[in-house]
Structure 1
Amino acid sequence: MRMVGGTPTRDPVRDLVVIFTEDADWHTRTLCRAIERQGLRVLVLSLNDCGFAIGETPHGLLLPGLDGQLPAAAFVRVIAKGTTEQITMRLGVLHALRELGVKVMNDARAIERCVDKSMTSFLIAQAGLPTPRTFVREDPAAMQALIDSAPGDSVLKPLFGAQGKGLRRIAAREPLPEATKVGGVYYLQEFVEGRRRDGLFQDWRVFVVGGRAVAAMMRRSERWITNIHQGAAGEPAPLDGAAAELAIAATAAVGADYAGVDLIEEAGGGFTILEVNSMPAWKGLQKTTETDVAAAMAHHLVSCLQPAAVG
């Protein structure tokens, strides 16, 4: 750490970026190389190992491997599952880094908004963007009444979830599962009948970085769940047009630097935004489009640091 008049300062290490993740997987290795090509060093950390050391370190945080200093930036790839207390503390570290002037991508506010699907839906709607009718409540009787009076199918989603896991299509008047099966909260979204091709279900994934669409694909499947992790096949999609414009607007609505936005093209025309993912995977997208997604994120990160951190 730098000393001024015998007092430690909180200036960041100008050429160091921390990647918060739980595994040195393909995504982490690819991102490390992309950031290093930008002339920066990378330190991989788990948020599980970080914490607060108020009154002990110059900035009040415990960041292993940094010797009391701060990084110039932090990239959040994965936050591990944990108790409410553990998740709150890890997000608290990210909040603190932002308060200390460290560029965090994506910061805790954007992550909180996207992990909570109800808040994502709320912010998208508040921004005037198209999204399905959505109802979120704890009361099983009230939610069952909605199902019983629904004109068509609904989609029951975990409030916290990704990669298409835990999705369930509920027909009108079909009994809902017990509250314990959904974490005590029912997130119900109107099922959107998307446009099909060759009898296959399809939707769009648009990857947005720094306010522009850098990669996009259409995902097709024989099942209505079209996530690549659930066996869907992808093919390149245009980076201009309504889908890209809506994805950019949705990313801005949740305050994210980068995001994977899921949209569906309705059978009658037009796009509807389904979800915004603040910690998206991009391996399938990169294979489909041959776009260097990690390079785009590294370039945006560097552009956010200039001129202070990069000469």
Structure 2
Amino acid sequence: MSLTGWLVFNGSLSSEKFMEQIEWLHREGLQMGMDFTKIPNHELIPAIEDGRAVIKGGYEGILPDFVFFWDKDIRLAYHLEKMGMKLFNSARSIEVCDDKSLTFQELADHGIKMPKTILAPKVFKGLKISGWESYHQIGRELGYPLIIKEVYGSFGAQVYLIENEDQLRSKVTELEDTPYIFQEYIASSFGRDVRLNVVGREVVAAMYRKSETDFRANVTAGGKMYPFTPTKEQKELAVRSAELAGTDFAGVDLLFGEEDEPILCEVNSNAHFKNIYDCTGVDVANKMLEYIANYLKGRMS
């Protein structure tokens, strides 16, 4: 008996780059013999009816063996779990990874080496910032340059290198009510990092990214990618970070300390896998679906 699964993705994202991944995942699932259905999130209508969590619309009353949740619609994810569906990744892990402030809070107090991080105060939209001394204190605490990173962002976007107090005031004023964090700048990792794809508790692929012109190493920011053999310390840090974030699979980005020791940059629950395939030849989509199949067959046996 084949596994039945839903591949849930965001229906508002229709770029070729995004849809290529959806088709890739769908194809891999079908080739593995799964009864695998692509579903844009807007076709699943979460409702509370007679005090119960249900789905309305074309998928009402259907309970798949699993949901491959390739989206960040957290409310929908929690709703499907409330109905008893098994999600990969879980709603909580996607929420933790999607919000970078939650990522660092979740991983704190577990011995994870990470940049010194300060959560920005909440500011309501349209209201002016008061109490600038707190921001000045943050600048003194982290030193300049420092990083301001919006908590929601991908591909290295929404990350800013702040050189002095004037730039800090300007960027904070510009961001207004946008949630963000302040971080220590890791100068030893200028323009370079590594991406490790973790599936289960194993690093299945890794690549080194380097930019000659930008403090960010992301390929979309001009970085180049190279196959990479991670050290034991890098693998251990990536696997432990993915585990603490609650993910079944993740793309973990690591920085280089002054002695090239690994430092956590971020954990991505919905890590794009085309670049790492182009770089290493490792099909992470296949690895993720194999993991799901083995996990579920182990539970059913």
For 1:1-311, list aligned pairs within 5 A: 15-22=3-10, 23=14, 25-55=19-49, 60-62=53-55, 64-79=57-72, 90-138=73-121, 141=132, 142-148=134-140, 150-176=142-168, 177-181=171-175, 183-195=177-189, 201-222=191-212, 223-307=214-298
Unaligned runs of 5+ in 1: 1-12, 80-89
Displacement of 1:220:
0.6
Letter in 2 for 1:134: T
> Normalized against structure 2, the TM-score is what?
0.85
Displacement of 1:31:
0.8
Q: Tell which deviates more after alignment, 106-115 or 179-188.
A: 179-188
SS in 2 for 1:35: helix
Which position in structure 1 is the counterpart of 2:125? none
Displacement of 1:184:
4.1
Q: Tell me the matched-pair count.
A: 283
Task: Say whether the 8 Å CA contact 2:150–2:178 is kept in structure 1.
Answer: no
Deviations 1:149-199 (A, max 9, x none): 543311111111111112110124343224452534341010002257xxx
Task: Say whether the 8 Å CA contact 2:53–2:82 is kept in structure 1.
Answer: no
4+ residue runs over 6 A deviation: none
Which position in structure 2 is the counterpart of 1:8? none
Task: Say whether the 8 Å CA contact 2:2–2:33 is kept in structure 1.
Answer: no
Displacement of 1:97:
2.4
Unaligned runs of 5+ in 2: 123-128
Letter in 1 for 2:287: A
Letter in 1 for 2:211: S
Distance 1:14 1:104, change over 3 A: farther
Deviations 1:221-243 (A, max 9, x none): 01111111222111111155211
Distance 1:239 1:306, change over 3 A: farther
Distance 1:171 1:180, change over 3 A: closer
Which position in structure 1 is the counterpart of 2:126? none
Letter in 1 for 2:111: G
SS in 1 for 2:59: coil
Counterparts of 2:65 and 2:209 in 1: how far apart (Å)?
A: 37
> Normalized against structure 1, the TM-score is what?
0.83
C-alpha RMSD over aligned residues: 2.4
